[in-house]
Amino acid sequence: MRLTQYFTSTLREAPADAEIISHILMVRAGMIKKLAAGIYSYLPMGLRTIKKIENIVRECMNDAGAVELLMPSVQPAEIWQESGRWQQYGKELLRIKDRHDRDFCYGPTHEEVITDIVRSVVKSYKQLPVNMYQIQTKFRDEVRPRFGLMRGREFIMKDAYSFDADDEGANVSYEKMRAAYCRIFERCGLSYKMVEADSGSIGGSYSHEFMVLAQTGEDAVISCDRCDYAANLEKAVALKPAKAPCIPSGDSDTCPKCGGIYEIARGIEVGHIFKLGTKYSEAMNARYLDKNGKQQTIVMGCYGIGVGRIAAACVEQNFDESGICWPVPIAPFEVAVVPLNSNEPDVVEMAENIYSDLIKAGIDAVIDDRNDRAGSKLADADLIGYPIRINVGKNNIKNSLVELVIRSSGEAELYTREDAINRAVELVSQAK
Amino acid sequence: MRLTQYFTSTLREAPADAEIISHILMVRAGMIKKLAAGIYSYLPMGLRTIKKIENIVRECMNDAGAVELLMPSVQPAEIWQESGRWQQYGKELLRIKDRHDRDFCYGPTHEEVITDIVRSVVKSYKQLPVNMYQIQTKFRDEVRPRFGLMRGREFIMKDAYSFDADDEGANVSYEKMRAAYCRIFERCGLSYKMVEADSGSIGGSYSHEFMVLAQTGEDAVISCDRCDYAANLEKAVALKPAKAPCIPSGDSDTCPKCGGIYEIARGIEVGHIFKLGTKYSEAMNARYLDKNGKQQTIVMGCYGIGVGRIAAACVEQNFDESGICWPVPIAPFEVAVVPLNSNEPDVVEMAENIYSDLIKAGIDAVIDDRNDRAGSKLADADLIGYPIRINVGKNNIKNSLVELVIRSSGEAELYTREDAINRAVELVSQAK
């Protein structure tokens, strides 16, 4: 991509309402733009990152045997009344009346819709298990939306729903999703922790959250450094010490179970998986005939990932004073080529050649072909956070050299054109 | 893909509310499922077709230099008040109040949002032209939703918006989109016609519609068989004969301009492009400084394609008494392998080998590995409408032969395994 043919809009100033670094940097880098409280447009640069996250999620879900579908965002009240959530759900549920004064809502989750689909199709144990997912826009009418994509009202989510013949099958489905989630966060380049959690308004028998560790995280995460126990604080304090022996008790910070030291860290929830059991299938009459022709209730699980949240959480983990440091797999572009002297034909020619070589090598590259000062181009590149940058300047090309800079470490080395290409290709493939 | 690991749900009976063939067949083939009036889920099989259409649209838009972004579905009333459409738009606009009683709508189009983005970023003629598009879910609260995806309330649309420095530039942008649209409909395998049209509630100076020709079309399309003139009937009768000389006048059906014969055909609108002029940029103050430092108003165009409508219109053009006949580029799967005798190990082995060969050859193949009767599998395959089918039956494999059937023509021939693969690969690549 050429920046002259793209739509970029970097800002020097942080937005007045931005409190956390991911919000500040994603707005300043021109990745997102606020339309109303908690409602953002994904500008072209931001959408590239979102699409890359979506593709990683999609590949990992498909590999785990889940099948993609797409359900409506506008849902009729009737199915929510059937599950009982029309009454239970508070003001976070955005309720809508259509032109005929019928009740609808903008779906914050899709348990009711998917259960309605499955109950109409699945009649026999032979049709189970089923696991279906979608990547879709949802709405939750937060009382105080803030933090950019972190706590928005309209947001993109991947939600999956599993349907099994029995509890044992449901556990297998849950385990597959747990493994898929670990793979997703690893592939996105995130440092994360899986912790025990409460089920909240979704309901069900147990659940785990996936937390990206970052100082700005809204949640506290407890973990023992010796035994396996990890939970969010809410869940941990709700349990008795006997059942969750690694929880801090009194003044002591040693784990009463194993003697290890417990730690409290801050985390950002990016995924949540729930063993739902029969809460929805019972209420909505989703049943099947077993091998003996006897009617049984389907056992469900549900599994959510905040796509926009992954992007924001990643920024919280990867930034410096100049801007974002995207990991390669979800960077808007992998390599940026920056001709530092736009008026020098040699510089422009070398930069164009390198850009063209990178594209041929299958690299997702961008060239900053704008007629701007070097300082302004480099500041933009650092702010947007391309993981690898190749600077082409008039002094170095006298010696047929260009500079390759790694954004996260600041490491810079001089290479010939050919070696710069090879090094960039090597770095990108190592990181994916 | 293996059908045993997929989610299929073919129906023998047409839904009671279905009036047109695409609605009947897409529901019966398990591609879509109604949730409420005019609101459908895209089931896995249907979503595959939708995603293929989206990718064709995306590639053609990118090739034409348009840049993808994603705007919110929920839009604040303020920008609609600025453009004047909050008052003008009727009940088709789904109005929403949030928990703080603030006014929003579920966007049926995005002229206001995109103009708000561009006016905040574009300050100089150097930043023009800009053309941005999104593929996104929209809502139009139709008084009488019907015909499945053809006239739904919630629907997927590609909408693009161009911003130019002057009228001449706007014409260039319009022309690029016109060419891109032709390419999109050709690549989807549709027979279509571009006609002059009215601008309706979107407004602007002129517009063209892209019509898929089908007897069930809601619109009448006038075209002269000798000169170039084509228009929708609404537009044609609104013009004076002198200006549109090919319109039927009196009892004569000859073109008064060229003597050619005019024809009236039925069409389904799948795309609509508008030269907007300065309607929105004037109302919303989207201006820039020209080369002389003088403030000018940006000239706009907007360009829409109904993604779900393309799928439905394609079915209206490609079906027979057994079901859908998808063209290869937007078929849910390109080739289906059907082992006719699920209990014969030789048959199953041959079918599995062919399936695996097709996948290796890069074909989007599916194997019907369900333990069902041959008749039921073939009926499903015809209903869903895979363009190419390879039947593996116990009689033919005695002679090491399998049957390759072309869905649209019914043409069937016997091949060896290797020749069947080659023939399938050849047919798929010819069609794409």
Residues A209/A194, Cβ–Cβ less than 8 Å: yes
Q: Which of A41, A67, A121 sits opposite B69 (nearest CB)?
A: A41
- Rounded to an integer, what distance in angstroms lies between the CA atom of residue B258 and that of residue A134? 54
Touching check for B154 and chain A: CB below 8 Å? yes
pLDDT value for B236: 64
Interface touch B70/A47, C-beta < 8 Å: yes
Chain B residues touching residue A73 (CB < 8 angstroms): 73, 137, 154
pLDDT value for A149: 93
Chain A residues touching residue B6 (CB < 8 angstroms): 67
Q: CA dihedral defined by A191, A195, A200, A201, rounded to 10 degrees?
A: 50
pLDDT value for A206: 81
Q: CA dihedral defined by A80, A82, A85, A86, rounded to 10 degrees?
A: 60
Residues B305/B190, Cβ–Cβ less than 8 Å: no
Residues A222/A247, Cβ–Cβ less than 8 Å: yes
Interface touch A141/B99, C-beta < 8 Å: yes
- Tell me the pLDDT tens digit for each residue of A216-245: 888 888 887 777 778 777 766 655 444 444
- % chain A with pLDDT above 90: 82
From the centroid of its chain, how far is CA A112? 24
Element (H, E) at A273: strand A262-277
- Rounded to an integer, what distance in angstroms lies between the CA atom of residue B241 and that of residue A77? 52
Interface touch B41/A121, C-beta < 8 Å: no
Residues A225/A263, Cβ–Cβ less than 8 Å: yes
pLDDT at residue A259 tops 50: yes
pLDDT at residue B244 tops 90: no
Interior angle at CA A247, CA A245 and CA A252, nearest 5: 100
CA distance B172 to chain A (A): 15
Residues A66/A135, Cβ–Cβ less than 8 Å: no
Chain B residues touching residue A94 (CB < 8 angstroms): 74, 96, 98-99
Work out how many CB contacts closer than 8 A connect A with B.
136
Query: Which residues are registered as beta bridge partners of A339?
Result: A392
Residues 6+ apart with CB under 8 A from B376: none
Interface touch B74/A143, C-beta < 8 Å: no
Residues in chain A: 432
Query: Which residues are registered as beta bridge partners of B365?
Result: B335
Instruction: Count Cα atoms within 13 angstroms, Cβ side, for A258.
Output: 13
Interface touch A99/B50, C-beta < 8 Å: no
Burial of B317 (0-12, 13-18, 19+ CB in 10 A): buried
Chain A residues touching residue B65 (CB < 8 angstroms): 5
pLDDT at residue A89 tops 80: yes
Interface test with A, best of B8, B63, B69 (most A CBs within 10 A): B69
| Mutual angle of helices B345-360 and B417-431, in 10-degree steps | 40
- % chain A with pLDDT above 70: 93
pLDDT at residue B259 tops 70: no
- Rounded to an integer, what distance in angstroms lies between the CA atom of residue B142 and that of residue A130? 34
Residues B94/B139, Cβ–Cβ less than 8 Å: yes
| Residue closest to A69 by CA, chosen among B329, B74, B51 | B51
Residues B404/B424, Cβ–Cβ less than 8 Å: yes
Maximum C-alpha span of chain B: 82
> For chain B, how are helix, strand and coil distributed in percent, rounded to 5?
35, 30, 35
Interface touch A74/B106, C-beta < 8 Å: yes
Touching check for A113 and chain B: CB below 8 Å? yes
Residues A308/A302, Cβ–Cβ less than 8 Å: no
B260 or A359, higher pLDDT = A359
- Tell me the pLDDT tens digit for each residue of B156-193: 999 999 999 999 999 999 999 999 999 999 999 999 99
Chain B residues touching residue A41 (CB < 8 angstroms): 69-72, 113, 117
What Rg do the C-alpha atoms of chain A give, in angstroms? Answer: 25
From the centroid of its chain, how far is CA A202? 20
- CA distance between the termini of chain B: 20
Chain B residues touching residue A76 (CB < 8 angstroms): 35-36, 39
pLDDT at residue B338 tops 70: yes
Listed in order, strand segments (DSSP E) in B98-251 are 103-106, 130-139, 154-164, 192-197, 206-213, 219-224, 230-232
- Rounded to an integer, what distance in angstroms lies between the CA atom of residue A214 and that of residue A221? 11
pLDDT at residue A176 tops 80: yes
Query: Which residues are registered as beta bridge partners of A15?
Result: none
Interface touch A98/B141, C-beta < 8 Å: yes
CA distance B263 to chain A (A): 39
SS3 call for A88: helix
CA distance B215 to chain A (A): 29
- Rounded to an integer, what distance in angstroms lies between the CA atom of residue B14 and that of residue B31? 13
pLDDT value for A218: 84
Band (B256; pLDDT cuts 50, 70, 90): low
Interface touch B65/A5, C-beta < 8 Å: yes
Residues A265/A259, Cβ–Cβ less than 8 Å: no
Residues in chain B: 432
Helices (H), B103-199: 111-121, 167-187
Q: Which of A68, A116, A139 sits opposite B74 (nearest CB)?
A: A139
Rounded to two decimals, the pTM is 0.95
Touching check for B96 and chain A: CB below 8 Å? yes
Interface test with A, best of B45, B74, B133 (most A CBs within 10 A): B74
Touching check for B63 and chain A: CB below 8 Å? no
Quick one: tokens of A58? Answer: 């999609």
Band (A106; pLDDT cuts 50, 70, 90): very high
Interface touch A69/B43, C-beta < 8 Å: yes
Quick one: tokens of A204? Answer: 């069900």
Domains with residue ranges and CATH for chain B: 3-224+263-320 (3.30.930.10), 333-431 (3.40.50.800)
Backbone angles phi, psi at A85, to 5 degrees: -80, -15
Amino acid at the residue A288: Y
Nearest-Cα residue of chain B relative to residue A99: B91
| Other residues' Cβ atoms within 10 Å of the Cβ of residue A255 | 21
Quick one: tokens of A66? Answer: 């889940």
pLDDT value for A233: 73
Touching check for A155 and chain B: CB below 8 Å? no
| Residue closest to A32 by CA, chosen among A343, A275, A315 | A315
- Rounded to an integer, what distance in angstroms lies between the CA atom of residue B18 and that of residue B91? 24
Quick one: tokens of A96? Answer: 């809508």
Which ipTM value was assigned to this complex? 0.94
Interface touch A130/B94, C-beta < 8 Å: no
Chain B residues touching residue A99 (CB < 8 angstroms): 91-92, 94, 141, 143
Interface touch A41/B68, C-beta < 8 Å: no
Q: Please provide the average confidence, as pLDDT, over all residues in chain A.
A: 92
Residues A405/A391, Cβ–Cβ less than 8 Å: yes
pLDDT value for A229: 74
| Residue closest to B264 by CA, chosen among B253, B273, B250, B272 | B253
Quick one: tokens of A4? Answer: 């002259």
Interface touch B44/A96, C-beta < 8 Å: no
Residues A134/A71, Cβ–Cβ less than 8 Å: yes
In the block, residue with structure tokens 């099948």:
A67
Touching check for A403 and chain B: CB below 8 Å? no
Interface touch A71/B35, C-beta < 8 Å: yes
- Rounded to an integer, what distance in angstroms lies between the CA atom of residue B158 and that of residue B135? 4
Average of pLDDT values for A42-61?
98
pLDDT value for A60: 98
pLDDT at residue A36 tops 80: yes
- Tell me the pLDDT tens digit for each residue of B4-62: 999 999 999 999 989 899 999 999 999 999 999 999 999 999 999 999 999 999 999 99
Band (A305; pLDDT cuts 50, 70, 90): very high
Distances (CA, A) of B339 to B331, B359, B417: 21, 16, 13
pLDDT value for A219: 86
pLDDT value for B242: 44
Burial B73-102 (b: 16+ CB within 10 A, else e): bbbbbebbebbebbeebeeebbbbebeeee
Interface touch B36/A76, C-beta < 8 Å: yes
Residues 6+ apart with CB under 8 A from B307: B50, B53, B54, B57, B135, B155, B156, B157, B158
pLDDT value for B97: 97
Band (B203; pLDDT cuts 50, 70, 90): low
DSSP state letters, A385-425:
T-SEEEEE-HHHHTTT-EEEEETTT--EEEE-HHHHHHHHH
pLDDT at residue A268 tops 70: yes
| Other residues' Cβ atoms within 10 Å of the Cβ of residue A320 | 12
Average of pLDDT values for A88-93?
95
Touching check for A11 and chain B: CB below 8 Å? no
Q: Which of B68, B98, B141 sits opposite A47 (nearest CB)?
A: B68
CB contacts under 8 A, A 296-335 vs B, are none
Interface test with B, best of A28, A61, A70, A105 (most B CBs within 10 A): A70
Q: CA dihedral defined by B267, B271, B277, B280, rounded to 10 degrees?
A: 120
Average of pLDDT values for B381-401?
97
Chain B residues touching residue A72 (CB < 8 angstroms): 35-36, 39-41, 154
Interface touch B74/A154, C-beta < 8 Å: yes
Amino acid at the residue A31: M
Touching check for A73 and chain B: CB below 8 Å? yes
pLDDT value for B219: 86
Pairing of β B365-367 and β B74-76: unpaired
Residues 6+ apart with CB under 8 A from B27: B11, B14, B15, B18, B33, B34, B148
B266 or A44, higher pLDDT = A44
CA distance B77 to chain A (A): 10
Touching check for B242 and chain A: CB below 8 Å? no
Maximum C-alpha span of chain A: 82
